[in-house]
Structure 1
Amino acid sequence: MGMTITEKILASHAGKDVVESGEIIDARLDLTLANDITAPLSLEEFDKVGAKKVFDPEKVVFVLDHFTPNKDIPSAENCKRIREFSRKYGITHVYDGGACGIEHALLPEEGLVVPGDVVIGADSHTCTYGALGAFSTGVGSTDLTYGMVTGRNWFKVPESIKFHCYGTWQQWVTGKDLILAIIGMIGVDGALYASMEYTGEAISALSMDSRFAIANMAIEAGAKNGIFTVDEKTLAYVKDRGQKPHAVFESDGNAKYREVFEIDAGKIGLKVACPSLPSNVKDVEELGDTHVDQVVIGSCTNGRLEDLAMAAEILKGRTVAPDTRCIVIPATPKIYLEAMRRGYLETFVEARCIVSPPTCGPCLGGHMGILAKGEKAIATTNRNFVGRMGHPESEVYLAGPAVAAASAVKGSISHPLEVA
């Protein structure tokens, strides 16, 4: 029996010729990641076990993106702890202040992850890097400590589920709509501890930004990771950042899959996940005049340049509805600068949007856009659980950038054609 991409990457890092789903392996790591919320817990464990150094100062990454600029004293203390640790142990990649972006947009942009890598992060959306043909997954802070110290971690090899997508995408539809459609189809536990593998001509047609959005939300289906075949777009993305693949793997023709789904991209419309599960998915046309108090365009799912371009196209020459707030968050400083050069930020400001520096803030109900009791938001983020963005009696709808921007203009959940 052949192997999938995920199995081949894990086998190569475990020093084995073959691995099978369900097998427990000890694998070498190429990168470990933590942020300003999860790193302090790992550093406490680091001290408890008496560690004297990290396995490689160039392969430990800290991104202070969740509560920065610091929103309160505890967040300031957490960041101070990370800075002190990084200076003590010579950590190379510490992203703070004006150099900081949202971690899962920042690491690929900086060329820190390449095809064939094994990456762990103390953040569940670490699965984003599967868009590059890497095996990446979220872990707990204690597992991260072990990885930081030893450069290794144990894994149970996941089963794989293939999503073969064919056909031509409709206007405005992006990878966000595909992954919402899939989660709506299989549920939030439909890919539990599995690898979600994406193939087909429609996948090849997607931009890297869309692929990152799809891989990012693998965890919302309960998956261990999401992963894409490395193609010319992947290689061009990596090359543009001065890097080359660790290794390029393809699934064998006789690889074993738990399930295979055939999806016609032409039938995927603009999707919205309604409160309070990412699987409560409906077509935008079904939601009528659902008023929204706040719109958030950003996050590690949809704060990239393609997302901002789409939102700017819809908001150009228009204004945000009087009873609605719209927050736009470019995911990294480089995206912020390029959006500025292209005039997107001017468009957003003229449309009466709030333009924020890169932050995870509102996505996790941290800061920069907390919802009050009874308020509704539509966001390009990845989770809409009860209380996710603020008060437990607020509600969050998830969508792609086109629907979010159109909804900001109308003040209610809307299709882009409604504002054309």
Structure 2
Amino acid sequence: RFFRWRYLRKSARLRKLIQPVMVKNYLKISWRTLRRQRLHTVINIGGLSLGLAACSLLFLYIRHHLSYDDWHTNKDRVYLASQWSYGGPDYDSDSTWWSAPAPDFGVNSMVSAALPETIKDQVPGVEAIALVGGQSGVVKVGRSVLRERFTVASPSLFDMLDVPLAEGSVLGFKDPGHILISEAKAEAWFGNRSAVGQTLEVTFQGETQTKEVVGVLAHTDQPTNFQLDIVLNPRSKPNYEQWSTNWNSLSVATYVMLAPGVQPETLTPAFDGIVDVHYDHMLDITRERAGLAENQRGFGFALVPLTEIHVIPFSVRYGNMQPRYLAFLALIGIAILLIAGINYISLTLARSAGRNLEVGVRKSLGARVSHIVTQFYVETLLVTVLALIL
């Protein structure tokens, strides 16, 4: 009597022995069922695979745009000093909610070239500061004369960012007579020869200068806002003294790296002090235009985290992807996944009526409800896995 099934099935040891056999049996029956109903299987797997593929591509695209410059070691301490202004409810009324963060606010990533040195002297808690700008010119390599776009960047930028080097060093870049080029430019200009130590003739702003290549920047597949093909030291600009003291020209992006433990909000009073001295006329203009009180500010500077620059609608300079677009894409991806799931459920329910006989036979042979439910779960899991593989 101790060998009756009602006693054996209570044995934990026996259940452990039976479980692998049952799983194998579930998989075997599921596979046979899918093979027997091939048209239904193809429709289910095809619909799920298309839905999962579309959803995966959308979320990979979203992840790509959210991962710009998040691979730098100091990413949590590097910020872009942006300029903002408030125009009031009637200002810029032609703006629409899908083209700007708010119609009343104007945000500009470009600031005066005089700002970096001023921040360095007057804002506490800043460990390093760098300006980045653009410049068109001509490069003469041997007998070839090429029209190129340069990046003007402070040497301290390479202390903030993890820019890989293929050859040479960035230490010599502090000399205005030196230049950095990308791996692609080095290969195009010098072929298999070492680019370090080679000289170029660079002409911009009406002046020709001889530059020595001291470093070759390696190509990286990581998403970044920095396009560093040909990098010049700012001090090599012919009009550097005038350019670096002109508060009316918005021509550079300014990056600051805060000291460890310093929060950007604590620097607001120092930035307000800079505005009071150099942009007092802008405070008056924005107050009058927006109807602000004397103690309200309609103009100032804000620090934008390095990893958020790409998803803030500054300008086409950064190839920005606005957060609302990413949210729309995420909703589309979720909708596609839901539609694929609902389609699979509908087809499975439509087919379930034809399996009543199978369920009845299995129950009459002693199968429990949990066994039958598990069988259907295994079938669903198998279809999902096949859809993912495809």
Name the TM tier (shorter chain): under 0.3
The TM-score with structure 2 as length reference comes to 0.23
- Between structure 1 and structure 2, the one with the greater Rg is 2
Greater helix fraction, Structure 1 or Structure 2: 2
The TM-score with structure 1 as length reference comes to 0.22
